[in-house]
Amino acid sequence: RKEVEQDPGPFNVPEGATVAFNCTYSNSASQSFFWYRQDCRKEPKLLMSVYSSGNEDGRFTAQLNRASQYISLLIRDSKLSDSATYLCVVRTSGTYKYIFGTGTRLKVLA
């Protein structure tokens, strides 16, 4: 089983739609959680960190469920510019090692 698993997609959604991605992690000692965005042939960039209480940044909401060991990303009012691959990233307590999921591709359609 992979340490971090994501549905590869693609998720094809119309502009204005709400879309949600989940990511599961296997190590219960995981401590830090992130969503990164990667555009085609570009480097990953931090979208948002995921806090235990959940957090929101504009149209983006991230949630953490430690009991079920998953994190989620909700995108409201999707824009064409949201089309990208979204990477789930997990860091284990006591290490500086980050484990990346393979990413979920999102395509927002006009």
Partner 1 sequence: GAGVSQSPSNKVTEKGKDVELRCDPISGHTALYWYRQSLGQGLEFLIYFQGNSAPDKSGLPSDRFSAERTGGSVSTLTIQRTQQEDSAVYLCASSGLSGGGAWDTQYFGPGTRLTVL
The residue ranges that bind partner 1 (CB under 8 A) are 32, 34, 42-46, 49, 87, 89, 91, 95-103
Residue among 42 and 77 whose Cβ is closer to partner 1: 42
SS3 43: coil
Least separation in angstroms between CB 78 and partner 1? 23
Q: Distance from first CA to last CA of the chain, Å, rounded?
A: 37
Which residue, chain included where needed, has tokens 């983006």? 60
Please say which residue, 19 or 50, places its beta carbon nearer to partner 1: 50
Q: Are 103 and 11 in contact (CB under 8 A)?
A: no
CB of 23: closest distance to partner 1 in angstroms? 12
